[in-house]
Amino acid sequence: MPKIEVDKSAFYRYLGITADEEKLKEMFPTAKAELDGVDEEKNILKIELNDTNRPDLWSAPGLARQLRIHETGIIPEYPFFSAAEQKLDAEDRTVTVDPGLIHIRPFITAFAVTGKPLDDPGLKEIIQIQEKICWNFGQKRKSIAMGVYRSDLIQYPVRYTAADPDAVKFVPLDFKRELSLREINSIHPKGKDYGHIVADFPAFPFLTDSNGDVLSYPPVINSARIGAVEIGDEQLFIELTGTDIYSLTLATSIIACDLSDMGYTILPVKVEYPYDTPFGREVVTPYYFQEEMETELSYIRRQLGIDITAADAADLLRRMGIGAEANGEGVRIQPPVYRNDFLHPADIVEDIMISRGMDSFEPEMPKDFTLGRLTRETEFGRKVKDIMVGLGFQEMIYNYLGSKRDFLDRMGLTEEDGNGIIQVANPMTENFEFVRSSILPQLLYSESVSGNAVYPHKSFEAGKIAYPDENDNYGSVTKNYLGFLHSDNGADFNVVSGYVSAVMFYLSREYSLEELDDPRFIPGRGASVLYNGNIVGILGEVHPQVLENWGIQMPATVCELDLDALLTKEG
């Protein structure tokens, strides 16, 4: 979830209404925002935004806008938007696109910024917006990357080209010497971070002006001259490149609206494509592409459980900044220029809910009668646990992830001997790399850290294990197992066999034992438990080598039973 830091005084200025932190806390639910903290020294508010579908809220001006509209009911105007039927005049501000980009990074949007010199909070805000939009919304620059330039140094038209990564060279930001695009990928810090996005293409995206002066190598790094923006600059050029024209265009709209709210003037830019796009071959950006949506009043009423008129619903939506009007027994909406999160009428319903306020809904108990019950496995597991407790065992509960060392090596088992175990492909550490296929290793792990606890030790867990099974659709199965351990001087096969006998007696399950050759047990002192002709468990005296592997200095016996198999009645 995105977290932002905003300059307190700038935020209150964007908000435009008198407020303090207490008031903010009251207002924040409207934007699904939470005040994480206040840094009084730096005059900063730390805010968490919960809605990952509302990138327009991930900046100080954007968040302030939503709160302001809900508070005042005044919807701001953004006159710099073009649309399919109405293109604004971009004057000479044009970007041309190279046909070679169609399979590399096909889309670009842009606008120019003027009106006042860039100040320190403004620059910080732009950097934060760029980070949040390109990182969280733009998949770490993969689908959206943004560049800011000094437009007074640019000769239009700007050229967006597919360049030879070895032949083309320029001085990137923070460097003094020329590097080829490919060298940037391996040498420049930003190249190391983002170069992989385009590294496999034969040509790399490249931006120059009409004189051939370099703007940037998107999505990686700006040039050291046109791309070096500083406080005091009054003329800016902003472009975004990407792979999905919808999210790219929305991101552009959000950034333009934010800068407009910050007091800058936005000037449109025309992009000329040599190929078709969903918005045509000539697109003037910022560009409004969102479609109207309509919903029936009956749907709103059913979802919210309230009686509401179409006019009231439209009013509530306008309080959220959404163009809305009653339309007979329905409501028609026009999404704000900076939002594209209306996929289904359900999304309209939520804005009505938020606008109306949670307190306005009277909670009502669900009236339908339904029968509550536990699964058969849970019921059976509880019965087993009661028996174990009656036998004097302490129930344990363990994590399901562990290491190969614990799950196999220390048990004297190897994967090659058919002891299949589910491995995680992307473990965070080797300590959490395998899913347990048995409870026994963890019971022994407990012993290895509990040598000081008064003996006898009698511990058990009834829980899940999983192991590979190539016949299964998922290639593995999950089972409910019981594992228990007895450790003491005199903990021998006869004693553990007695426990098994007691468990089976009280579960009313007939069973037999068969000698088992297993490296975990002392030879001649391990057995399989047979039920219904199938092996459903094992028991035995733990081999001293295994005890030594765990650093355990007290004899132990263990047993493990497949509860799912035992749940099945005989015959």
Site for other proteins in 37-56 (CB under 8 A): 50-53
Q: Where would I find the H helices in 188-331?
A: 189-194, 245-261, 297-304, 310-318
Hey, what are 432's tokens? 């959490």
Stretch that binds other proteins, among 83-91, 174-182, 197-205, 426-434 (CB under 8 A): 426-434
Nearest to 521 by CA among 416, 412, 419, 393: 412
- Choosing from 96, 277, 476, 532, the residue that interacts with other proteins (CB under 8 A) is 476
The nearer residue to other proteins, 22 or 77, going by C-beta atoms, is: 22
Binding letters toward other proteins, positions 258-297, x by CB under 8 A: ---------------------------------x------
Determine contact, residues 182/192, Cβ cutoff 8 Å: no
Q: Which of residues 336-395 bind other proteins (CB under 8 A)?
A: 343-347, 349-350, 353-354, 358-359, 361-375, 377-378, 382, 385, 388-395
25 binds other proteins (CB under 8 A): no
Least distance to other proteins from the beta carbon of 139, Å? 7
Least distance to other proteins from the beta carbon of 20, Å? 20
How far, in Å, CA of 342 to CA of 323, rounded? 13
The nearer residue to other proteins, 10 or 314, going by C-beta atoms, is: 314
Query: If DSSP codes are grouped into helix, strand and coil, which group holds residue 332?
Result: strand
Query: If DSSP codes are grouped into helix, strand and coil, which group holds residue 274?
Result: coil
How far, in Å, CA of 533 to CA of 565, rounded? 11
CA atoms within 13 A on the CB side of 459: 20
Least distance to other proteins from the beta carbon of 443, Å? 9
How far, in Å, CA of 207 to CA of 237, rounded? 12
- Choosing from 453, 510, 534, 553, the residue that interacts with other proteins (CB under 8 A) is 453
How far, in Å, CA of 177 to CA of 234, rounded? 27
Report in angstroms the alpha-carbon separations of 245 from 90, 158, 287: 20, 19, 11
Determine contact, residues 81/150, Cβ cutoff 8 Å: no
Terminal Cα-to-Cα distance of the chain (whole angstroms) = 54
Least distance to other proteins from the beta carbon of 35, Å? 12
The nearer residue to other proteins, 484 or 493, going by C-beta atoms, is: 484
* Residue the block writes with tokens 């020329």: 178
Hey, what are 468's tokens? 């590979």
Q: Which of residues 104-143 bind other proteins (CB under 8 A)?
A: 136-137, 139, 143
Stretch that binds other proteins, among 175-183, 456-464, 523-531, 536-544 (CB under 8 A): 456-464
Report in angstroms the alpha-carbon separations of 286 from 62, 76, 301: 16, 16, 36
23 binds other proteins (CB under 8 A): no
Least distance to other proteins from the beta carbon of 341, Å? 10
Least distance to other proteins from the beta carbon of 183, Å? 31
551 binds other proteins (CB under 8 A): no
Least distance to other proteins from the beta carbon of 484, Å? 10
252 binds other proteins (CB under 8 A): no
Hey, what are 473's tokens? 């659709």
Binding letters toward other proteins, positions 399-418, x by CB under 8 A: xxx-----------------
